[in-house]
């Protein structure tokens, strides 16, 4: 590939979650052009799915939206959403990146973001964004405050693509922005540095045989609970169980589901579950005053500022019962979910007939992270997390000069740490640019 | 297809109905069960103490002798299956123990015998859909709960029989017979096993939980593949009734007895009189006799 | 109820024997209690399997051997199949049985002469063969 000798002082950030956004804003404010590539239709990442964040219980959208808007309006940041990295060549100062802009079947130049298409779309499918807790349309935006506020059509859910019928969105769009013939397009961009901030996923509950292989109704994971608790979620923020919409009065939270389990699942600690489980318990109690919460835990890891106090407050103020022990098995019995656990502090077996069970599932990398790692030429560990150059002293650099990592793509961490990580990565990019 | 067959001591006597129905069904299915010419008890429990090599000798001998007569061995009793299969794995994996054992029993067995449970033969070698075609009297409407117990499933890495948390092979078998397979959460929980010797009350309690779970989910018959489990959930229903006065008894069948009924075998050859809880009312009620 | 710990107490002969017979590393147990939570006979045990393992690790031989826990173990392997640290708890329970049964003074856990009339005749062979191997010296 031709190297025209110049050092391009432009950064590409892969991933538009809080880490990617933070890094982009830092770099933009420092005077550098940034290309932000995000595979979902809009930026915001996992924080979009959250209701409130610990330890302050601030509304996640209220904290996030100013950042996404700032990113969307920043003169130096170019947003390429609904796009994925195809190929990366070159070296620091001169990366040539081929990006696939996925067909959204909507002409974003024409679209005004009025939302009529999504409103009138007749097709309903379990929404991935809502973690199966609610239904979504085939043409959708991720949230009312999406940046950019342009919809995409998911062809596997769309009646026109599947059966050749419908076309309601096309008919109803006031500016004729629907284009079923759209194809994936490819663009090539030249950048000097890359930050990979592609985020995380949760280990699917379908993996846990002893917890019902994901088929026991009302056994959900942490992100699904966030959707239940969100005002913009499928139940408008009311804690209702998915099977029958009743308000659960006996709720069991199970920490370390798939974490700290070298024999069967992930050996590592997922770092954030103790805090978010306590958060979920407290938020649930705020809404359901006569409900009881049981949290099965092995240890409590509350290392950040205000974290330990948060946990203790939950116990003291809300009467949340912490049971030190694991849960061996969950199964359905009529309308209840039987939970077989243990309280090792008294040594007794504990059985709870719960209305709902929330699994704090282990944090794992995004499913295509190993392919991304290969494309970038950077190392991933056996679980897929992007590997830093040195565990203690180089947490955001990789084995390739010019490529940096930020956020949960490097390992599980909470929002504050992800932002700090992203700031660090941005600062490394600036350091690199300053040398040339 | 022919298989070497290890009945096990209990099937020869107290669980003769299990053995007999299996043999009769095999004839109809075109399977040949060649009983091992010279066999002993397998020990009834796989030695969990790692230094107990003596306890490995009976199953090793069985394996070594079987290997001289053929390449595939089957058994019906879940405990025998567990002991023999685990011993086989140990011989395959632990060279030092293998040599010690071979030296003592004065044979040379290398662990290359294929060990199958009868249900696996029905699934893999005949196929449940093929089996369905040989059924002349489908067990329509028989709400049967398959009780797996422990020994078929665990430890999963060695038994490789079916998913240890949610196995389906037994239910698939029952459906092939035309019956209605009842799922219940206690199907993989232990019946108490040899605790019926050590702490009989505990075993009674285990059996009670299993049976009530099945009955609660709609079962009118239990299906078992192990004489130990059958003793605990069939025979011990008398003990259960003494403690829980409103317990309703439920018949327990060996799976080969149901197979025999479904294949149209004369009911007098099924050994149903050996079943502790009388199975005739349920069978008559479903028009299966 | 106070325990005085020393390095000899932690790496005691009893624990080493149990580790040898069972082939398991008791230090791997982080006391999550998953074994106890899933054990089908734990309802009748004085202490759960995880607690017995703790006793052994802390050198509390009398406490460990004095409970009915490992005698009630049916070797169903549910604990082993779910232990997140890969400890074969069923083997540890059996090892504890062996420690008692292998002592020089004969100490059977069940006394055959005390069985009720006709009890052994009713049992299938499989029950008393396995039972005798687990409970008799």
Q: Give the fold, CATH level 3, of A10-101+184-199+366-435.
A: FAD/NAD(P)-binding domain (3.50.50)
CA distance A42 to A334: 41
- Chain A residues in contact with C31 by the CB 8 A cut-off are 344
C2 domain-assigned: no
Domain check: are C113 and C89 in the same one? no
What's residue C12's pLDDT?
92
Q: What is the pLDDT of residue C128?
A: 87
Phi then psi dihedrals of residue A293, to 5 deg: -110, 135
Distance from the Cα of residue A203 to its chain's centroid: 12
Q: DSSP string covering A328-363, please? A: EEEEEETTEEEEEEEETTTTEEEEEEESEEEEEEPE
Residue C117 lies in a domain: yes
Q: What is the pLDDT of residues A357-388, one digit of tens each?
A: 999 999 999 999 999 999 999 999 999 999 99
- Chain C CB contacts of A262 under 8 Å are 84-86
CA distance B200 to B207: 10
Find the closest chain B residue to C73 by CA distance: B195
> Which single residue is written with the structure tokens 């030249």?
A190
Sign of torsion over alpha carbons C98, C99, C104, C108: negative
Give the domain ranges of chain A.
Answer: 10-101+184-199+366-435, 116-172, 203-363
Out of 3.50.50.60, 3.40.30.10, 3.20.20.70, 3.40.1440.10, select the CATH number for domain A203-363.
3.50.50.60
Cβ distance of C22 and B50 shorter than 8 Å: yes
The structural domains of chain B, ordered by start, are: 2-118 (1.20.1050.140), 128-285 (3.40.50.11810)
Distances, alpha carbon A246 to alpha carbons A249, A252, A306, A337, C97, in Å: 9, 16, 34, 14, 49
Chain B: residue whose CA lies nearest to A216: B185
Contact B153, B167 (CB under 8 A): yes
CB contact under 8 A, B164 and A332: no
Residue of C74, C81, C91 with shortest CB distance to B194: C74
pLDDT score at A246: 96
At CB < 8 Å, which residues of chain C contact B? 20-23, 40-41, 43-44, 71-72, 74-78, 80-81, 88, 90-91, 93-95, 98, 109-110, 122-135
* Nearest in space to A16 (alpha carbons), one of A425, A427, A406, A374: A406
Contact list in C for residue B192 (CB cut-off 8 A) is: 40-41, 74
State both tokens at C16. Answer: 């080493």
* Residue-wise pLDDT tens digits, B92-102: 999 999 999 99
Check: pTM over 0.90? Answer yes or no.
Answer: yes
ipTM reported for the complex, 2 dp: 0.93
Q: Which one of A209, A333, A338 has the shortest CB-CB distance to B165?
A: A209
Which tokens is C9 given? 């107490």
**Together in a domain, C38 and C90:** yes
From chain A, pick out residues whose CB is under 8 angstroms from the CB of B165: 209-210, 213
Cis peptide before B155 (omega within 30 of 0): yes
C19, C82: one domain:
yes
CA distance B49 to chain C (A): 5
* Burial class (CB within 10 angstroms; exposed 0-12, middle 13-18, buried 19+) of C114: exposed
Which CATH number is C38's domain given?
1.10.1060.10
Please indicate if any CB of chain B lies within 8 Å of the CB of A383.
no
> 3-class DSSP state for residue A377?
coil
Cross-strand partners of A37: A14, A80
pLDDT tens across A119-152, in order? Answer: 999 999 999 999 988 899 999 999 888 999 999 9
Which whole-number Å values give the CA distances from A229 to A387, B9, B134, in the listed order?
Answer: 34, 60, 55
3-state helix, strand, coil split of chain A in percent (to 5) is 25, 30, 45
How far is A74 from A33, CA to CA, in rounded Å? 10
Nearest to C77 by CA among B155, B199, B202, B56: B155
A3: confidence class by pLDDT, cuts 50, 70, 90: low
> Which of C38, C48, C51 lies closest to A340 in CB terms?
C38
The answer to whether the beta carbons of residues C66 and A373 sit under 8 Å apart is: no
Nearest CA in chain A to B165: A209
Test C51 with A262 for CB contact under 8 angstroms: no
First and final C-alpha spacing in chain B: 30
A182's tokens: 């759209």
Q: What is the model's pLDDT at position B288?
A: 87
> Does C89 lie in the same domain as C31?
yes
- From first CA to last CA, the distance across chain A in angstroms is 21
The reply to whether residue A347 touches residue C47, judged by beta carbons under 8 angstroms, is: yes
Q: Which residue has the higher pLDDT, C108 or B86?
A: B86
Neighbours of chain B (3+ CB pairs under 8 A): A, C
pLDDT bucket at A29, cuts 50 / 70 / 90 = very high
How far is the CA of A359 from the CAs of A288, A297, A322, A327, in angstroms?
19, 11, 15, 10
Mean pLDDT across the stretch A174-190?
95
Cβ separation B165–A210 shorter than 8 A: yes
Q: Is the pLDDT of residue A1 over 70?
A: no
Mutation to test the C interface, candidates A270, A297, A328, most C Cβ within 10 Å: A328
| Residue A426, pLDDT above cutoff 70 | yes
> Does the distance separating the beta carbons of C84 and A261 come in below 8 Å?
yes
What is chain B's length? 289
The verdict on a CB contact (< 8 Å) between B185 and A210 is no
Rounded to the nearest angstrom, the minimum Cα separation between A291 and chain B is 27
Q: Residue A87: helix, strand or coil by DSSP?
A: strand
Q: Tokens 């005004």: give the residue.
A: A112
Averages of pLDDT over runs of 10 residues in chain C (137 residues) are: 89 94 96 96 96 94 95 96 97 96 86 86 89 90
The answer to the question of residue C16 being in a domain is: yes
Q: Note whether B66 and B4 are within 8 A (CB).
A: yes
In order, the DSSP letters of C62-129 are: HHHHHSSHHHH-----HHHHH-TT---HHHHHHHHHHHHHTSSS---SS-GGGSPTTHHHHS-HHHHH
Which stretches of A257-414 are DSSP H helices?
273-287, 307-318, 369-376
Q: Does residue C133 lie within any of the structural domains? A: yes
Q: What is the pLDDT of residues A290-335, one digit of tens each?
A: 999 999 999 999 999 999 999 999 999 999 999 999 999 999 999 9
Chains touching A by CB (3 or more pairs below 8 Å): B, C
The residue among B1 and A355 whose pLDDT is bigger is A355
**How far is C-alpha B215 from the geometric centre of its chain's CA atoms?**
21
C95 and C36 co-located in one domain: yes
Residues of B with CB under 8 A from a CB of C: 8-10, 13-15, 41, 43-45, 48-52, 55, 77, 79, 150, 154-156, 164, 188-190, 192-199, 201-203, 205-206, 209, 227-228, 231, 235
Q: State whether C32 and A298 contact (CB < 8 Å).
A: yes
List residues bridging with C9 in a β-sheet: none
> How far is the alpha carbon of C117 from chain A, nearest alpha carbon, in Å?
36
Same domain, C27 and C84: yes
Averaged pLDDT score across all residues of chain B: 93
Over residues A49-93, the pLDDT tens digits come to 999 999 999 999 999 999 999 999 999 999 999 999 999 999 999
Q: Which of residues 207-226 of A touch C (CB under 8 A)?
A: 210
Residues C76 and C131 in one domain: no
Q: Beta strands A327-333 and A336-343: pairing type?
A: antiparallel
Mean pLDDT of chain A: 95
**Pair C90, C113 in one domain:** no
CB contact (8 A) between residue A344 and residue C50: yes
Residue B174 distance to chain A (closest CA, Å)? 22
Q: Report the DSSP pairing between strands A10-14 and A193-196.
A: parallel
Q: CA-to-CA distance for B287 and B254, rounded, in angstroms?
A: 19
Q: Which of C40, C71, C110 sits opposite B190 (nearest CB)?
A: C40
| Inter-CA distances, A137 with A121, A141, A155, A233, B251, Å | 6, 9, 11, 14, 51
Which residue of B197, B201, B231 to mutate against C (max C Cβ within 10 Å)?
B197
Determine, yes or no, domain membership for C1.
Answer: no
Tokens 């004969």 belong to which residue?
C106
* Domain-embedded: residue C72: yes
A214 near B CB under 8 A: no
In the predicted structure, residue A2 carries a pLDDT above the cut 60 = no
Domains: count for chain C: 2
pLDDT of the residue at A285: 96
Q: Read off the pLDDT of each residue in B167-189 and give the average, rounded to a whole number.
A: 95
Q: Is the previous residue joined to A231 through a cis bond, with omega within 30 degrees of 0?
A: no
For residue C73, with 0-12 CB atoms within 10 Å meaning exposed, 13-18 middle and 19 or more buried, which class applies? buried
Q: Are residues C119 and C95 in the same domain?
A: no
Residues C89, C115 within the same domain: no
Task: Give bridge partners of residue A338 from the DSSP assignment.
Answer: A331, A353
Residue C67 lies inside a defined structural domain of this protein: yes
A23: its two tokens? 């890094």
pLDDT at C112: 86
CA closest to C38 among chain A residues: A328
pLDDT of A4 reads: 62
Which residues form the domain of C71?
7-102
In a shared domain, residues C88 and C123: no
Reduced to 3 states, what is the DSSP secondary structure of residue A70?
helix
For residue A34, what are the β-bridge partners?
Answer: A11, A77
Contact A213, B166 (CB under 8 A): yes
Percent pLDDT > 70 in chain A is 99
Residue range B167-175: mean pLDDT, rounded: 95
Helix (H) or strand (E) segment spanning residue A272: none
Restricting to C residues 35-94, those with a Cβ less than 8 Å away from any Cβ of A are 35-39, 42-43, 47-48, 50-51, 78, 82-86
Say how far apart CA A220 and CA A131 lie, in whole Å. 9
Asked if C84 lies within 8 A of A341 by C-beta distance, the reply is no
Q: How many contacts (CB atoms, under 8 Å) link A and C? A: 67
pLDDT beyond 80 at B116 = yes
SS3 of B267, please? helix
Does C71 sit within 8 Å of B150, measured CB to CB? Answer: no
**Neighbour subunits, C (≥3 Cβ pairs < 8 A):** A, B
Question: What's the CA gap between B277 and B280, in Å, rounded?
Answer: 9
Listed in sequence order, the DSSP H helices in A4-59 are 18-29
Residue range A143-170: average pLDDT?
A: 92
- Find the farthest-apart pair of alpha carbons in chain A and give their distance in angstroms, rounded: 71
Decide if A209 and B185 are in contact by the 8 Å CB cutoff: no
Report the distance separating Cα A389 and Cα A377, nearest Å: 13
Q: Do A262 and C86 touch (CB under 8 A)?
A: yes
Query: B1-15 burial by CB neighbour count: b if 16+ within 10 A, else e?
Result: eebbbbbbbbbeebb
Distance CA A38, CA A103 (A): 14
Contacts of C95 in chain B (CB under 8 A): 48-49
Q: Is the pLDDT of residue A243 over 60?
A: yes
Residue among C71, C76, C95 whose CB faces B49 most closely: C95
Calculate helix-pair angle for A415-435, A18-29, nearest 10 degrees: 40
Query: CA C97 to CA C75: how far, in whole Å?
Result: 12
- How is residue A174 written in tokens? 């006031």
Q: Would an 8 Å CB–CB cutoff place C34 in contact with chain A?
A: yes
Contact check, Cβ <8 Å, A262/C34: no
Select from A335, A132, A334 the least CA-distant residue to A214: A132
- C-alpha distances in Å from residue A17, one per residue of A195, A229, A411: 12, 20, 14
How far is A142 from A43, CA to CA, in rounded Å?
9
pLDDT digits (tens, 9 = 90+) for B199-245: 999 999 999 999 999 999 999 999 999 999 999 999 999 999 999 99
């Amino acid at each position: 590939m031709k190297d025209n000798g110049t050092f391009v002082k432009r950064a590409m950030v892969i991933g538009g979650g809080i880490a990617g956004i933070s890094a982009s804003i830092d770099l933009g404010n420092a005077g550098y052009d940034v290309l932000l590539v995000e595979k979902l239709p809009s930026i915001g990442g996992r924080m979009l799915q959250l209701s409130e964040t610990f330890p302050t219980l601030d509304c996640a959208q209220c904290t996030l939206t100013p950042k996404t808007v700032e990113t969307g309006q920043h003169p130096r940041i170019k947003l390429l959403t609904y796009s994925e990295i195809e190929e990366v060549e070159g070296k620091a100062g001169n990366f040539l990146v081929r990006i696939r802009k996925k067909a959204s079947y909507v002409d974003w130049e024409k679209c005004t973001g009025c939302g009529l298409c999504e409103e009138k779309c007749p097709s309903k499918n379990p929404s991935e964004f809502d973690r199966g807790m609610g239904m979504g349309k085939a043409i959708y935006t991720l949230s009312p405050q999406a940046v950019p506020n342009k919809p995409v059509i998911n062809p596997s859910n769309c009646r026109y693509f599947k059966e050749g019928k419908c076309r309601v969105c096309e008919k109803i769009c006031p500016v004729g922005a629907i284009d079923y013939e759209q194809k994936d397009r490819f663009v090539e961009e030249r950048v000097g540095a890359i930050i990979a901030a592609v985020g995380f996923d949760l280990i699917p509950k379908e993996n846990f045989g002893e917890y019902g292989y994901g088929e026991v109704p009302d056994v959900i994971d942490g992100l699904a609970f966030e959707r239940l608790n969100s005002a913009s979620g499928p139940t408008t923020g009311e804690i209702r169980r998915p099977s029958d919409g009743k308000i659960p009065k006996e709720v069991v939270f199970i920490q370390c589901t798939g974490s700290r389990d070298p024999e069967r699942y992930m050996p590592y600690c997922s770092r954030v579950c103790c805090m978010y489980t306590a958060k979920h318990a407290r938020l649930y109690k705020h809404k359901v005053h006569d409900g009881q919460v049981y949290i099965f835990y092995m240890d409590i890891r509350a290392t950040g500022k205000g974290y330990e106090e948060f946990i203790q407050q939950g116990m003291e103020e809300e009467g949340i019962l912490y049971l030190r022990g694991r849960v061996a098995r969950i199964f359905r019995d009529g309308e209840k979910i039987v939970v077989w656990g243990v309280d090792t502090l008294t040594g007794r077996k504990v059985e709870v007939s719960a209305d709902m069970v929330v699994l704090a599932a282990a944090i794992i990398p995004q499913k295509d992270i190993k392919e991304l790692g290969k494309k970038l030429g950077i190392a991933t560990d056996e679980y897929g997390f992007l590997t830093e150059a040195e565990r203690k002293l180089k947490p955001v650099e990789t084995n390739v000069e010019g490529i940096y990592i930020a956020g949960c793509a490097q390992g599980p961490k909470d929002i504050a740490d992800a932002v700090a990580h992203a700031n660090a990565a941005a600062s490394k990019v600036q350091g690199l640019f300053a040398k040339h | 297809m022919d298989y070497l067959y290890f009945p096990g001591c209990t099937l020869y006597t107290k669980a003769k109905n299990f053995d007999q129905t299996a043999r009769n069904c095999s004839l109809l299915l075109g399977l040949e069960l060649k009983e091992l010419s010279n066999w002993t008890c397998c020990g009834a429990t796989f030695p969990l103490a790692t230094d107990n090599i003596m306890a490995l000798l009976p199953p090793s001998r069985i394996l070594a002798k079987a290997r001289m007569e053929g390449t595939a061995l089957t058994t019906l009793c879940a405990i025998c299956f567990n002991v023999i299969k685990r011993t086989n794995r140990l011989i395959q994996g632990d060279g030092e123990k293998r040599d010690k054992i071979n030296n003592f029993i004065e044979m040379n067995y290398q662990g290359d015998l294929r060990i199958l449970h009868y249900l696996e033969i029905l699934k893999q070698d005949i196929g449940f859909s093929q089996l369905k075609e040989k059924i002349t009297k489908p067990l329509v409407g028989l709400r049967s709960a398959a009780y797996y117990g422990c020994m078929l499933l665990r430890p999963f890495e060695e038994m490789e029989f079916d998913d240890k948390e949610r196995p389906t092979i037994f239910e698939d078998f029952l459906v092939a017979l035309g019956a209605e397979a009842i799922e219940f959460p206690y199907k993989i929980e232990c019946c108490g096993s040899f605790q019926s010797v050590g702490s009989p009350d505990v075993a009674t309690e285990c059996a009670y939980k299993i049976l009530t779970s099945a009955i609660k989910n709609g079962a009118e018959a239990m299906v078992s593949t192990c004489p130990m489990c059958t003793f605990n959930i069939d025979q011990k229903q008398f003990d259960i009734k003494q403690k829980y006065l409103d317990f309703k008894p439920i018949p327990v069948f060996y799976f080969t007895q149901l197979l025999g009924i479904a294949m149209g075998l004369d009911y007098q050859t099924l050994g149903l009189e050996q079943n502790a809880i009388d199975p005739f009312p349920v069978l008559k009620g479903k028009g299966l006799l | 109820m106070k325990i005085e710990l020393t390095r000899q107490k932690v790496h005691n002969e009893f624990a080493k024997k149990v580790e040898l017979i069972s082939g398991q590393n008791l230090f791997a147990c982080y006391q999550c209690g998953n074994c106890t939570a899933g054990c089908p006979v734990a309802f009748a045990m004085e202490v759960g399997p995880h607690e017995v393992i703790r006793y052994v690790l802390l050198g509390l031989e009398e406490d460990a051997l004095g409970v009915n826990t490992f005698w009630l173990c049916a070797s169903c392997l549910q604990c082993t199949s779910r232990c997140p640290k890969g400890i074969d708890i069923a083997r540890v329970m059996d090892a504890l049985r062996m420690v008692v049964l292998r002592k020089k003074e004969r100490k059977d856990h069940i006394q055959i002469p005390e069985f009720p009339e006709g009890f052994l005749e009713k049992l299938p062979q499989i029950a008393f063969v396995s039972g005798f191997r687990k409970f008799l010296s």
